[in-house]
A and B are shown apart, each in its own frame.
Chain A
Amino acid sequence: MAVSTPQSSTDASTPGITLTQTPAGPCAVVMGRWTAAQLTVREVWASVAAALQAVPAGTRGWDLRPVQRLDHFGAQLLWNQWGRAWPADVQVIPSQRAVIERVAKYSTAAPTIPESTWWGRVNVLGGLLLQAFGHGKDLTRLIGQLLLDVVKLVTHPREGPWRDMSGHLYRIGATALPITALVGSLIGVVLAYLTSQQLKQFGADAFVVDILGVSIIRELGPVLAAILIAGRSGSAITAQIGVMRVTEELDAMRVMGIAHGYRLVMPRALALAIVMPLISVWTTLMALTGGMIAADLSLGISPTFFVNALPKAVEIANLTLALGKSVVFGLLIALIACHFGLRVEPNTESLGKGTTASVVTSITVVILVDALFAVVFKDIGI
C-alpha cells in the first residue's frame, strides 16, 4: 500500500514512505532524498507528514536502504517517529547509521525554563522599582553634571567643544526649518478656518485675531515646535549615543579621559536650549501667517488689519513666557534623549527600546511641563 504518492513528480528524489507486508510483519520502506532542502518544500512536507502519520505506531520493520541521501534533519524526523529508540528490525547502510547515531546522541530534552513563582514576581516588581529609582538617579546626576560642565565652560571658554556645538545647532536647528514651517502654517490655517466658522455666527469676526494671537504665540507655537524637535532630534540623539555604546565608542572615550557629560551631553543640551526658542519663534510666525491668510479668505479680514490688531490682542509678557518655555523644553528634550542614549545596553534590541522610550518620554514631559507653566503663569499676559 503506497501511503505517499506525491502528485506532481515521478521524481525518484522526492522523499516518501511505502508500507509493505513481509513474513516478519509490516515494514516501512523509506525512499527519496531525506534532506532539509527536499523536506521543507511545502507539498513534500505535507505528504511526508501524512505518510509518517499513516505508519502504525510500533511498526518494527524499517528499511532505509533505498534512501538516496539522509541528513540530520531527515534523521531527526525518523528518530522522533521511532520514539527516540531504534526499531527492532531496521536496515540501514553504515553512513546512514552514523548520521542517525549522531542525532540520537544529541537528542536530549530541552532544558526547562524555570517557572515563575510568587517570589520571582516580587523580584520583578522590585526590579521595576529599582529601575525607576535608577532613572531618577541618573537623570539627577545628568542635570548636576550639566551644571558643573556649564560652570567649567564659562570659566574655561577656550577649552569648550564649540565646533561640536555649532554642528548640532545646524543639524538640530537649520535643517528643521522646512518641516516646522510646513506643520506650523497648516495648523494656523486649520485653526483660523475652524474658529472663523464659529465666530461668524456671532458676528464677532474681528476676535479671530485675539484667539489666534494668544493661542499660537503662548501655547501652540512653542509646544508644536518642541514636539517636532523631540521626535526629530531627540530620537537622533538617543540613537547616536546608543550606537556609540553598542560599538564601544563610549568606553573608548572614557579610557581617553574624555568625560561623556562634557563632550556629549553639554553640547547637545546647550545647542537645543539655543535652537528651541528660535525654532519656536519660526513656527509661531509661520502659524500666524497661515492663520492670517485663512482669515482673509474666509472672513475677509485683511492682513493689514490683522497685523495692526495683533499687538493690542497679545501682551508682551506672552512673548517672554513663550521664549522661556522653549528654553526649558529644549533642555528637557536634550537631557532625556542623552539619558536614554547613555542607558542603552550593547545590543540592538535595547537600542530600539531606548529610542522609543526617549521620544515617548520627551513628548510626554513637554506636554506635562507646558501644563505646569499654564497653571503657574495663569495670571500673566492674559
Chain B
Amino acid sequence: MSAVGETGSSGFTARYIVDIRGLWTVFKTPAAEFVVHKDLDLAIERGEVVSLVGGSGTGKTTLLRQILGLETPAKGTINILGQPVAKLGETGAASRVGMLFQQGALFSAFNVLENIAFPLRELKMLPDDLIRDVALVKLQMVGLGAEHAYKMPADLSGGMVKRVALARALVMDPPLLLLDEPTAGLDPESADGFVSLLRSLHQELQLTVVMVTHDLDTLYELSTRVAVLAEQRVIVSGPPKDVIAFTHPFVHEFFLGERGQRAMELLREYPFAV
C-alpha cells in the first residue's frame, strides 16, 4: 500500500505532517555522482508512528536529514507541517520539530538542565524561572529525577543521554518528532524502558513520529506504519503485517529471517502495534 494517492489537492497540507513528493537526493564528488533517492514519495499523517527500514546505504538517515532540512533536495518538494522545509530552520524551529540524534548530540559544555532549556533560553524573552520550570518538568517526564539537573553530559550513562536528548527535543512540545536509531547502543532493559517511554509520550502528546531503526522489537512495539526503502525509493509502506506480506528479497530477509522470526513473537503479544 502506498499512502501517496491524492495529488494536487490544496487540502493536503492540513492532512499531512510530512509530505515528500518526487524527491531526488544526489551526492556529488568530483569523480562521480551517487543517487540516493530517486522520485521518492512519502506522506505521513498526524499521529502516525512511521518506521523507515532498509539495507545499509539506502538513505534512511539521509531521508531524516532531508525532512529536517539539513540536506538540499536535487529535485522534488518536501513540505513539513504544510510549509516548505526550507522555512523549518527559522527562529523557533524547536516548536515545530524535535530530533533525537543517534548519539544524543548534547552540548558538552552545558549541564543537563541548560541543555534542555537551550531552545527556550535562546529566544531571550522568557523569564528564567519559567524556563527552569518547563525544563524540569520535561526532565521528569522522560523519567529522570530532578537530582540529575546539574550533571554534565560526560557524567551520564548512554540511556540517560538519550533521555535528556529526548527531553531537549520535546521542550517546546513540537508536533513532529524524528528519531535516529532511538534504541541503538542501549542495553535491552534500557531499550525496553525507552520504547515504553516513547509510546506513552506519543499517546499523551499526540506526536507524529518518524524513526529510523534496525531494531525489530522497537519497530513492532511502536510503529503504526513501516516504510521500506530500497531501489532508491519507498517500495512499500503500510502496517507491519501488510509489509511482511510484500514480496521483495530485502523484506523477506529483514522480517522473515531468523532474527525476524524471533521478533515476530512480539507481534502476536502486542496488539498495539497492529
CB contact between A40 and one of B92, B108, B133, B153 (< 8 Å): that residue: B92
For residue B106, give the distance in angstroms from its CB to the closest CB of chain A. Answer: 10
Digitize A335-368: 1 where CB-to-B-CB distance is under 8 Å, 0 elsewhere: 0000000000111110000000000000000000
Q: Is B95 an interface residue, CB under 8 A from the partner?
A: yes
* B132 contacts across to A, CB distance below 8 A: 110
* B108 contacts across to A, CB distance below 8 A: 347-349
Chain B, interface residues (CB within 8 Å), range? 20 to 34
Distance in angstroms between the alpha carbons of A110 and B120 in the assembled complex:
17
Looking across the interface, which residue of chain B has its beta carbon closest to that of A246? B108
Instruction: Check if A40 sits within 8 Å of B125, measured CB to CB.
Output: yes
Instruction: Check if B125 sits within 8 Å of A35, measured CB to CB.
Output: no
Instruction: Check if B126 sits within 8 Å of A80, measured CB to CB.
Output: no
Looking across the interface, which residue of chain A has its beta carbon closest to that of B150? A113
Q: Is A282 an interface residue, CB under 8 A from the partner?
A: no
Distance in angstroms between the alpha carbons of A37 and B98 in the assembled complex:
13
* A105 contacts across to B, CB distance below 8 A: 140
A107-122 contacts to B, CB under 8 A, are: 107-108, 110-111, 113
Distance in angstroms between the alpha carbons of A73 and B205 in the assembled complex:
12
Q: Is B109 an interface residue, CB under 8 A from the partner?
A: yes
* B174 contacts across to A, CB distance below 8 A: 37
CB contact between A110 and one of B126, B149, B205 (< 8 Å): that residue: B149
Q: Is A137 an interface residue, CB under 8 A from the partner?
A: no
Q: Is A72 an interface residue, CB under 8 A from the partner?
A: yes
Tally of A interface residues using CB under 8 Å: 28
* A259 contacts across to B, CB distance below 8 A: none
Instruction: Check if B137 sits within 8 Å of A40, measured CB to CB.
Output: no
Instruction: Check if B130 sits within 8 Å of A40, measured CB to CB.
Output: no
B115-160 contacts to A, CB under 8 A, are: 120, 123, 125-126, 129-130, 132-134, 136-138, 140-141, 146-147, 149-150, 152-154
Distance in angstroms between the alpha carbons of A37 and B172 in the assembled complex:
7
Q: Is A103 an interface residue, CB under 8 A from the partner?
A: yes
Q: Is A129 an interface residue, CB under 8 A from the partner?
A: no
Q: Is B241 an interface residue, CB under 8 A from the partner?
A: no
Q: Is A77 an interface residue, CB under 8 A from the partner?
A: yes
| 22 A-B residue pairs with CB within 8 Å | A36-B171, A36-B172, A37-B92, A37-B173, A40-B123, A41-B92, A45-B125, A72-B173, A73-B134, A76-B133, A80-B129, A98-B204, A102-B204, A106-B137, A106-B140, A108-B140, A110-B136, A110-B146, A347-B109, A347-B152, A347-B154, A348-B109
Identify the 6 closest CB pairs spanning chains A and B, nearest first: A37-B95, A347-B108, A71-B173, A36-B172, A106-B140, A349-B109
Q: Using a CB–CB distance below 8 Å, which chain B residues touch chain A? A: 92, 95-96, 108-109, 113, 120, 123, 125-126, 129-130, 132-134, 136-138, 140-141, 146-147, 149-150, 152-154, 171-174, 204-205
Known: A36-B173, A110-B146, A346-B154. 12 other contacts (CB 8 A): A35-B95, A36-B171, A37-B174, A40-B95, A73-B173, A76-B137, A98-B204, A106-B141, A108-B140, A111-B146, A111-B149, A345-B154
